Structure 1
Amino acid sequence: MNDKHMNFRPALLAALLAASVLAGCGKGQDTKAAAAPATDPNLVVVSAEMARNFRAAPLALQAVSIERDVPGRIEANEQLVTRIGASVTGRVTEVFAEVGARVKAGQVLARVTSPELTNAQLAYLRASSASTQAERAVERARQLIQADVIGSAELQRREAELSIARAELRASADQLMLLGMPEGYIERLREKGQLNSYAGIIATRSGVVIERKVSQGQVAQPGDPLFTLADLSNVWVVGAMPEQDAASVVMGQKVEISVPALGQRRFNGKVVFVSDTISPDTRTLVVRTQVDNTDRALKPQMLATLRIIGQARQQLAVPEAAVVRDNDRDHVFVQLAAGQYRLTPVDLGPASNGLRPLLKGPAEGTPVVVDGAFHLNNERKRAELE
């Protein structure tokens, strides 16, 4: 009997001990599960030593100038553009200027042979002859009146005829000048009587030939624009602004122009024209500035970008270094406590002088990480992977 009790007692103790251990383990797991908080992927907790690498500052009002980039192109200044055509109907016999050529005022660009010009020269020679004859008649009448051969009425009649002849001569000379004949040629025509069947197409100003619409053998008509000259020392930069931004641009705003073909070089100007109409095809309005181009670096039809700078105004803004791009959205880190930061989505405007205007997000005075946000975001991602 004593032996049976002795054998049963160790077995009972072993069973009780095993149950106790199992119960204790289950209780510990339940306690641990209850104590584990739900994880927040946007919350970052760092040690005090690491927190010294991040600097936070309260959100405050900043002087921000709204900047907008508008695509555009270089164009010739239309106020410095001249379209030149033939002054008579005729056939083009020679062309002297090509596109891109620099010409001076008075330079002959092409020549036209014209029967109209020949007829006008003949009319001038007849008028010149009539004027010379009328001058001689007046001189003869003055001699006769001194000899008391004719009366004063005859002298007056001849003087009237001289005035008419001189007026007709001036009109004929003006007609030749309108047909493109230089004044020197007209004087030579009167002195020598030699006809010139060629009319020159003359450059009326100095500039660069940017368009040519004439070829040898072509029949030219008055009014046809055969050459287009432009003074490229000052050019236009024309941009196309989306209609939703139309209210943000006004005359006189500063503009910074960049041209990809010219690398990092920048040009400055002001808005000189804002269209009152919207293009129905592109839903944009025309914005224009003009820029000095004394070195001819800007060429018509070059692509450009206009950065239109608005007036500075006070609004909440964050430094560009504080912005973290995640899931195609802008975020900032808001400091909750020492060593605790939360990634917070925000809506921001375009950058201006290193600042991004805050359109939607934390309130004024909220501490935001302004230095080290990129590394803090890396720490957040590393914690997610653990």
Structure 2
Amino acid sequence: MADSIRTKKLIITGVAIAVLAGGGYGYYSYSHKSAAPAATGHEGHGNAAPSMSVIGDKVVLDAKARQLAGVQTATVEKKALTKEIRTTGKIALNETGRAYITSRVMGRVDELYVNAEGEYIAPGQAIAAVYSPDYIAAQEEYILAIDTVNKLKSASRDLVQVNNRLLEAARRKLELLGVSSDDIEHLAHTRQPSTLMTVRAQFGGTVLEKQVLPGGYIMAGEKLFAISDLSTVWLYADLYEKDVAAVKVGQEVAVTTPAYPGETFTGYVSFVNAVLDDATRTVKVRIELSNPEGKLKPNMFANATINVPLGETLVIPSSSLLDTGKRKVVFIAQGEDTFVKRDIVTGQETQGYIQVLSGLNEGDTVVTAATFLIDSQTQLGNFGSHAGHGGGNKPAATPPAAAPQSIPAPSAQPAAPQANEHSGHSGH
């Protein structure tokens, strides 16, 4: 009885093992058949992949690779470029037009004819009336000299010459006090000295600061007004370090301000600072502007544009250059599918072009689009193994190895026959 039961158990176990082995084999066959078309399709795609090859600094691309990368080229040519430098700045006073109006006599200011900052004073304009004992005494000396000359006309020749020199000295004294010629002639005609001296402006300009009030006593040489001639103004603009070499004294500058949209003021560079600002890495440039209508006011912000002619040189499009920091590289097209890396020396960049100082010849063809992609292939080396990845069969071998692992074994004992069977299939 025991032998019969043992025999039945062995039969049942064998049947179970057979069923499991058959199911595993069926699942493996189904998976293998499903993976085969996929692997075949992937391999076919690999055959249609673009072809790339790298030999040192030379990259060869077939037509499809060039199309997918979007390779474009341009011819190296000579072109006259003009560099446009844009900067901003602030309007400032013309320092050569600043001045002080002073009094040449000591006395008391009885009247003040200019009373507010911002008023314009014309040269020779009366600005104040000052009571001055020195002025009164000078007038009396002049009147006395005139009378002496008139009374002693018939005196000896030497005496007449002395009297004439005294008259000239008295007139000269009035002139040194700032009395105008018209006032002196009026005094000679009336013989009546004035108690108030009219102080006139030695310079013309706009009043920046008033330093005197009516009733105040002033000394000879004391400042009455600070003025500035605003018919010309300065613009101080910041020039970046890379643009310093391109700007020279005398270059024309176009200036615009937000206050007058659409209007352009023309000036010229009158000074370039000799010292670079270490904090901003810029150089101050002074631009002199004509301002006859007074539109440009000190402390007003402005934009400046300087056009610098660079002359005719070899140029390439800016997109064709690869700047690594240590090297400046372009790719030269040699034939339709071959591109070679070349080091060049560049100059100024403007208007979408870069000057080429050495490394290229007129008529060379350079890559202008996909330059970085081509350069990356030279860094990675031969691209063929990557391009052929689609044709490999490694992915097709993965499902058979993974398929048996997804079937749970009923016990540790029957696992060995299943593994042996799979191994036999692999050998097959």
TM-score range (shorter-chain normalised) is 0.5 to 0.7
Q: In structure 2, the residue corresponding to 1:296 is in which secondary structure?
A: coil
Question: Residue in 2 aligned with 1:271?
Answer: 269
> Partners of 1:243 and 1:216 in 2: how far apart?
53
**Are 2:139 and 1:121 aligned?**
yes
Q: Note the alpha carbon deviations across 1:328-384, whole angstroms, 9 max, x for none.
A: xxxxxx9x9x9xxxxxxxxx99985x436479xx987433359xxxxxxxxxxxxxx
Structure 1 residue 71 displacement after superposition: 3.3
Q: Counterpart of 1:17 in structure 2: which amino acid?
A: G
- The separation in 1 between residues aligned to 2:176 and 2:74, in whole angstroms, is 76
Structure 2 counterpart of 1:258: 256
Distance in 2 (alpha carbons) for counterparts of 1:105 and 1:161: 40
1:96 matched to 2:124? The reply is: no
1, 14, 25: which one aligns with 1:16: 25
Displacement after TM superposition at 1:10 (Å): 7.7
Shift of 1:108: 0.6
- Residue 300 of structure 1 aligns with which residue? 298
Does 2:352 align with 1:355?
Answer: yes
Task: Give runs of aligned pairs for residues 81-160 of structure 1, distance below 5 A.
Answer: 81-97=98-114, 98-135=116-153, 137-138=154-155, 158-160=156-158
Q: Which residue identity lines up with residue 102 of structure 1 in the other structure?
A: Y
Letter in 2 for 1:120: A
Q: CA deviation at 1:163?
A: 1.1
- CA distance in structure 1 between the aligned counterparts of 2:28 and 2:72, rounded to whole angstroms: 55
Whole-angstrom distance in 2 between the partners of 1:56 and 1:262: 44
Shift of the alpha carbon at 1:101? 2.2
Q: 1:178 Cα deviation (Å)? A: 1.9
Q: Which moved more, 1:105-114 or 1:65-74?
A: 65-74
| Alpha carbons of structure 1 residues 89 and 56: separation in structure 2 relative to 1, 3 Å | farther
Paired position in structure 2 for 1:216: 214
Matched ranges for 1:240-255 at <5 A? 240-241=238-239, 245-255=243-253
Q: In 2 relative to 1, CA 61–208 (structure 1 residues): closer, same or farther, beyond 3 Å?
A: same
User: C-alpha displacement at 1:227, in angstroms?
Assistant: 2.7
Whole-angstrom CA distance in 2 between matches of 1:221 and 1:231: 26
Q: 2 CA distance for matches of 1:96 and 1:306? A: 40
Query: Percent identity over the alignment?
Result: 25
Counterpart CA distance in 2 for 1:281 and 1:162 is 74
> Which of 1 and 2 has greater Rg?
2
Gaps spanning 5+ residues in structure 2: where? 1-11, 50-63, 321-330, 337-345, 371-428
Amino acid of the residue matched to residue 107 of structure 1?
Q
User: 1:292/1:114 Cα in 2 relative to 1: closer, same or farther (>3 Å)?
Assistant: same
| Alpha-carbon distance change, 275 to 224 in structure 1, aligned in 2, over 3 angstroms | farther
Alpha carbons of structure 1 residues 240 and 202: separation in structure 2 relative to 1, 3 Å: farther
Alpha-carbon distance in structure 1 between the residues aligned to 2:306 and 2:27 = 80
| Cα pair distance change 1:19/1:240, threshold 3 Å | closer
CA 1:223–1:369: 2 relative to 1, 3 Å: farther
Question: 1:1-386 counterparts in 2 under 5 A?
Answer: 13-23=22-32, 57=74, 62-97=79-114, 98-135=116-153, 137-138=154-155, 158-241=156-239, 245-277=243-275, 285-313=283-311, 314=313, 316=315, 318=317, 352=350, 354-355=351-352, 357=354, 365-369=365-369
Give SS of 2:259's match.
helix
Instruction: Give how far 1:6 is off.
Output: 11
Match of 1:125, SS state, is: helix
8 Å Cα contact 2:235-2:288 kept in structure 1: yes
* 1:135-169 deviation per Cα after TM superposition (whole angstroms, max 9, x unaligned): 2x52xxxxxxxxxxxxxxxxxxx221121111111
Cα pair 2:252 2:306 within 8 Å, conserved? yes
| Number of matched pairs | 313
Aligned-partner Cα distance in 2 for 1:55–1:91: 85
Q: Is the 8 A contact 2:108 2:215 kept in 1?
A: yes
Deviation for aligned residue 1:281: 8.6
* Pair 1:13–1:209, CA change in 2 (3 A): same
Please provide the CA RMSD for this pair: 4.7
Quote the residue 2:410 is aligned against: none
Q: Distance in 2 between matches of 1:60 and 1:228?
A: 59
Q: How many angstroms apart in 1 are the aligned matches of 2:219 and 2:18?
A: 131
* Greater Cα shift, 268-277 or 56-65: 56-65
Letter in 2 for 1:127: A
- Asked if 2 retains the 8 angstrom alpha-carbon contact of 1:60 and 1:365, the reply is no
Q: 1:56-106 CA deviation, whole Å, 9 max, x = no partner?
A: 645656433333334322234444454321121223222222322234332
Q: 1:245 to 1:312 in 2, by over 3 A?
A: closer
Runs of 4 or more above 6 Å deviation:
4-11, 25-33, 45-49, 279-283, 348-351
Q: Mind listing any 5+ residue stretches in structure 1 that lack a counterpart?
A: 38-44, 139-157, 324-333, 339-347, 371-386
Q: Distance in 2 between matches of 1:224 and 1:279?
A: 38
Residues 348 and 355 in structure 2, CA contact (< 8 A), matched pair in contact too:
no
- Kept after mapping to 2: 8 A contact 1:67/1:351: no
